[in-house]
Structure 1
Amino acid sequence: MKVGLFIPCYVDQFYPQVGIATLQILEKIGLEVEFPLRQTCCGQPMANSGFEADSEPVMRLFVQHFKDYEYIVAPSGSCVLHVRERYEHLGHSAEITHIREKTFELCDFLVDVMKITDFGAVFPHKVGLHLSCHGQRGLRQAQSSEIVGEDFSKLKLLLSHVKGLELVDLDRKDECCGFGGTFCVSEEAVSARMGIDRVHDHEKHHAEVITGGDMSCLMHLEGIIRRQKKNIKVMHFAEILANH
């Protein structure tokens, strides 16, 4: 199986270790992984800011770079959801349909496609799990508290196999962190207040590390942690699964 590795802009620029950890995990389970060197943004920031027409050339470029891979995998629920839902505006050609159907967030790819949940990882720390809105409510990676139904979480399933990891229980396990892409710019005060609340919930339950599937959300929380000089780290779940 040949997999195209899609690394979102903010991961590439600010958290390259997350891309490296993702590559290590995929290669560990025997996949042939390629990183298209000319890949660019998926177009989400422009589209979410009301410039969807201007984002179309970027989206079409994404299709050209990844059309020949059996699967496209990215460590970002928000970018993957954008590809899956918004690329239908490009049309319904075989190439576009393939891209929309075969682009997976890393957690979904491991659990649903590869059906592997134990990577022999070791991480002896108390960890708080932040469920991003795009991953949870968009990609349906976990049960939402506002919906009646069976409780499940794919990320929690992966973390449950990590030796030494203690997952802490939060008061509000699926509340938004307030990042919301450009929302944190247009509604700075509200965004910051929401982020402070989320950090406090993790701190209250003595989490040493906050993890999740979207580095954008974790970046928002990390900024608050740094400003308030709190002794908590943020790590993408791929970094934890790659830790041995």
Structure 2
Amino acid sequence: MTTSTRITKGNAAEHQRKDSQEIYFYGTCLIDLFLPQAGIDAVRLLEREGLKVLYPQAQTCCGQPAFNSGYRREALAVARSQLALFQKPIPLVIPSGSCAAMFRKDYPDLFRHEPEYEAALDLASRVYELAEFMVDVLQVQLCDQGAEEAVILHSSCSLRRSLSAHDQTLALLGQLNKVHLQEPDRASDCCGFGGTFAVKQPALSAALTRDKCANIEASGCKRLVGGDQGCLMNIDGMLQRQNSDIESQHIATFIWQRTS
């Protein structure tokens, strides 16, 4: 099967050319600063499917912290600089439901009365979260080479509610036939991160995180995986303070290690 066949399968956007073999990759600031290996492994997964991954070096924050805090003018300045980086009519793949939701759902709102509105709509139509792209567009078939393991999954609020892409994450991880995948009780509850929410409401944030960690601990799993680095850092920080032996891992690294 050729790359051009794979990239136009499933729910690929209408604008994608049949001969397209290139995609953009947006690394996110949290992955870039705190867990670059997850970004590297995500790129490896995409390149293994025969794609040419373009990574504009000028990419920075997507503008979500400012946007969610009500600073629309400041968010617009950041978003405008990012919008200019992804002009080719090819998919933009993001290893984060939160950032993907900002590009797909919030950019059209942010640019509604701006000259770049049509460009923002076009970019929004080309945005995919990593697992969503691998399942819906590439239709990858994973071969699990790891040992038997029980793993618990955390999906972010953005992935579940803004993108409705939680099922794709389940489908992708479900291909790993030696992984016994679980979700915690009250899986759709927020982990307490919420970007600047964790700073503005630290007591409430910590209470939500403690509840999430208790449900994760109750599963008996020793590995936590997720697709949003902010959530993973927040949960992992609480688990470490509780002297937990649960290891957290971005799904890009988890999948790469089990299939390569």
When the two structures are superposed, what TM-score results if normalisation uses the length of structure 1? Answer: 0.91
Q: What is the CA distance between 1:42 and its match in structure 2?
A: 0.8
Partner residue of 1:187 out of 181, 186, 201: 201
Q: Could you tell me how far apart the structure 2 residues matched to 1:94 and 1:31 are?
A: 27
CA-to-aligned-CA distance 1:39-60 (integer Å, 9 cap, x gap): 1111111111111111112111
Match of 1:196 in 2: 210
Map residues 1-244 of structure 1 onto 2, 5 A cutoff. 1-88=21-108, 89-91=110-112, 93-116=117-140, 118-124=141-147, 125-142=149-166, 153-243=167-257, 244=260
Query: For residues 67 and 238 of structure 2, what CA distance do their matches in structure 1 show?
Result: 27
| Structure 1 CA distance for aligned equivalents of residues 144 and 124 of structure 2 | 31
Change (3 A) 1:58 1:169: closer
Quote how far apart the aligned CAs of 1:69 are: 4.9
The match for 2:8 is: none
Runs of 4+ in structure 1 deviating by more than 6 angstroms, as ranges, are none
Distance 2:28 2:146 in 1: 25
Q: How far apart, in 1, do the equivalents of 2:117 and 2:53 lie? A: 25
Moved more, 162-171 or 63-72: 162-171
- Supply the RMSD in Å over aligned alpha carbons: 1.4
- SS state of the match for residue 242, structure 1? helix
The alpha-carbon distance between structure 1 residues 204 and 156, as it changes in their structure 2 partners (threshold 3 A), is same
User: Which whole-Å CA distance do the structure 1 matches of 2:33 and 2:183 have between them?
Assistant: 32
The 8 Å contact of residues 154 and 183 in structure 2, kept in 1 or not, is answered as no
TM-score, normalization by structure 2 = 0.85
Query: Aligned partners of 1:122, 1:140: CA distance in 2, in Å?
Result: 29
Gaps of 5+ in 2: 1-20
- CA deviation after TM superposition for structure 1 residue 94, in Å: 4.1
Retained in 1: the 8 A contact 2:83–2:120? yes
One-letter identity of the residue aligned with 1:224: M
Distance 1:239 1:171, change over 3 A: same
Of all paired residues, the percent bearing the same amino acid is 33
CA distances 1:123-164 after superposition (whole Å, capped 9, x unpaired): 43211011210000110123xxxxxxxxxx221111111142
The answer for unaligned runs of 5 or more in structure 1 is 143-152
The number of residue pairs the alignment matches comes to 233
